[in-house]
Chain A
Amino acid sequence: MAESCRQHVEFDMLVKNRTQGIIPLAPISKSLWTCSVESSMEYCRIMYDIFPFKKLVNFIVSDSGAHVLNSWTQEDQNLQELMAALAAVGPPNPRADPECCSILHGLVAAVETLCKITEYQHEARTLLMENAERVGNRGRIICITNAKSDSHVRMLEDCVQETIHEHNKLAANSDHLMQIQKCELVLIHTYAVGEDSLVSDRPKKELSPVLTSEVHSVRAGRHLATKLNILVQQHFDLASTTITNIPMKEEQHANTSANYDVELLHHKDAHVDFLKSGDTHIGGSSREGSFKETITLKWCTPRTNNIELHYCTGAYRISPVDVNSRPSSCLTNFLLNGRSVLLEQPRKSGSKVISHMLSSHGGEIFLHVLSSSRSILEDPPSISEGCGGRVTDYRITDFGEFMRENRLTPFLDPRYKIDGSLEIPLERAKDQLEKHTRYWPMIISQTTIFNMQAVVPLASVIVKESLTEEDVLNCQKTIYNLVDMERKNDPLPISTVGTRGKGPKRDEQYRIMWNELETLVRAHINNSEKHQRVLECLMACRSKPPEEEERKKRGRKREDKEDKSEKAVKDYEQEKSWQDSERLKGILERGKEELAEAEIIKDSPDSPEPPNKKPLVDMDETPPVEKSKGPVSLLSLWSNRINTANSRKHQEFAGRLNSVNNRAELYQHLKEENGMETAENGKASRQ
Chain B
Amino acid sequence: MDDYDKTCLESALVGVCNIVQQEWGGAIPCQVVLVTDGCLGIGRGSLRHSLATHNQRSESNRFPLPFPFPSKLYIMCMANLEELQSTDSLDCLERLIDLNNGEGQIFTIDGPLCLKNVQSMFGKLIDLAYTPFHAILKCGHLTADVQVFPRPEPFVVDEEIDPIPKVINTDLEIVGFIDIADISSPPVLSRHLVLPIALNKEGDEVGTGITDDNEDENSANQIAGKIPNFCVLLHGSLKVEGMVAIVQLGPEWHGMLYSQADSKKKSNLMMSLFEPGPEPLPWLGKMAQLGPISDAKENPYGEDDNKSPFPLQPKNKRSYAQNVTVWIKPSGLQTDVQKILRNARKLPEKTQTFYKELNRLRKAALAFGFLDLLKGVADMLERECTLLPDTAHPDAAFQLTHAAQQLKLASTGTSEYAGYEHNITPLHTDFSGSSAERM
Contact = CB atoms under 8 A, between A and B. Distances in A.
B235 A383 contact: yes
B129 interface: no
20 contacts: A24-B383, A31-B372, A37-B368, A49-B318, A86-B367, A131-B161, A135-B160, A272-B26, A273-B26, A309-B183, A314-B187, A319-B319, A325-B329, A328-B320, A368-B187, A383-B267, A388-B226, A464-B294, A577-B227, A580-B227
A38 interface: yes
Contacts of B223: 581, 585, 587
B283 A362 contact: yes
A312 B161 CA distance: 28
A19 B373 CA distance: 10
Contacts of A577: 227-228
A628 to B, nearest CB: 33
Contact of B326 (A323, A581, A590): A323
B371 A91 contact: yes
Given A312-B185, A315-B186, A429-B290, A38 B327 contact: yes
A555 to B, nearest CB: 24
Interface stretch (A159-167, A202-210, A373-381): A373-381
A409 B296 contact: yes
Given A372-B25, A408-B176, A580-B228, A20 B241 contact: no
A341 B332 CA distance: 26
| Residue among A329, A372, A388 with the highest chain B CB neighbour number at 10 A | A388
Interface stretch (B98-106, B118-126, B304-312, B344-352): B304-312
B328 interface: yes
A442 B142 contact: yes
A34 B370 CA distance: 6
B290 A408 contact: yes
A536 interface: no
B24 A374 contact: yes
Closest 5 CB pairs of A and B: A388-B229, A425-B291, A373-B25, A91-B369, A437-B140
A666 interface: no
A570 interface: yes
B185 A28 contact: no
Contact of A408 (B175, B317, B379): B175
Nearest to A288: B329
A499 to B, nearest CB: 16
Contacts of B198: 387
A602 to B, nearest CB: 15
Interface in B202-251: 203, 205-206, 209, 213, 222-238, 240-246, 248
Interface stretch (A395-403, A483-491, A603-611): A395-403
Nearest to A385: B225
Contacts of B317: 363
Contacts of A139: none
A390 B369 contact: no
B105 to A, nearest CB: 22
A560 B234 CA distance: 31
A434 B140 contact: yes
A20 B337 contact: yes
A587 B372 CA distance: 94
A312 B256 CA distance: 13
B277 interface: no
Interface stretch (B47-55, B189-197, B396-404): B189-197
A564 interface: no
Contacts of A408: 175-178, 246, 290-293
B418 interface: yes
Interface of B: 21, 23-28, 68-69, 139-142, 144, 149-150, 160-161, 173-181, 183-189, 191, 193, 195-198, 203, 205-206, 209, 213, 222-238, 240-246, 248, 258, 260, 262, 265-270, 272, 282-296, 300-301, 305, 309-314, 316-322, 324-335, 337, 363-364, 366-373, 375-376, 379-380, 383, 413, 418, 420-421
A134 B161 contact: yes
B26 A277 contact: yes
A320 interface: yes
A134 B141 contact: no
A311 B272 CA distance: 9
Given A383-B235, A408-B292, 11 more contacts: A18-B333, A20-B333, A21-B334, A28-B372, A79-B319, A365-B320, A382-B262, A395-B233, A397-B237, A410-B289, A433-B175
Nearest to B160: A136
A379 B337 CA distance: 60
- Chain A interface size, as a band, is 35 or more
A674 B180 CA distance: 53
A611 B51 CA distance: 78
B141 A424 contact: no
A310 interface: yes
Contacts of B293: 405-409
A363 B318 contact: yes
Given A409-B309, A570-B141, A429 B175 contact: yes
A309 B309 contact: no
Contact of B227 (A361, A387, A591): A387
A28 B178 contact: no
A42 B242 contact: no
A237 interface: no
A394 B233 contact: yes
| Residue among A400, A436, A578 with the highest chain B CB neighbour number at 10 A | A400
Contacts of A48: 316, 318-319
A154 interface: no
Contacts of A158: none
Contacts of B24: 373-374, 376
A336 to B, nearest CB: 6
A426 B291 contact: yes
A361 B292 contact: no
A86 B369 contact: yes
Nearest to A82: B367
A154 to B, nearest CB: 29
Contacts of B240: 396-397, 400
Contacts of A348: none
A312 B188 contact: yes
Contacts of A49: 318-320
Contacts of A381: 195, 266, 268
A62 B226 CA distance: 79
Given A28-B376, A86-B369, A391-B227, A407 B301 contact: yes
Contacts of B181: 307
B103 to A, nearest CB: 16
A569 B292 contact: no
A54 to B, nearest CB: 12
Given A25-B383, A52-B314, A388-B231, A79 B413 contact: no
Given A309-B258, A391-B232, A412-B285, A20 B335 contact: no
A20 B421 contact: no
A345 B160 CA distance: 35
B328 A222 contact: yes
Contacts of B213: 674
B230 A442 contact: yes
A399 B230 CA distance: 10
B312 A380 contact: no
A399 B185 contact: no
B250 to A, nearest CB: 13
Contacts of B367: 37, 41, 82-84, 86-87
Contacts of A404: 177, 241, 243, 301, 305
Interface in A18-58: 18-22, 24-25, 28-31, 33-34, 37-39, 41-42, 45-46, 48-49, 52
Nearest to B379: A25
A591 B209 contact: yes
Given A323-B320, A442-B230, A386 B290 contact: no
A610 to B, nearest CB: 21
Contacts of A64: none
Given A324-B324, A403-B237, A389 B363 contact: no
A368 B286 CA distance: 20
Contact of B330 (A20, A37, A361, A371): A20
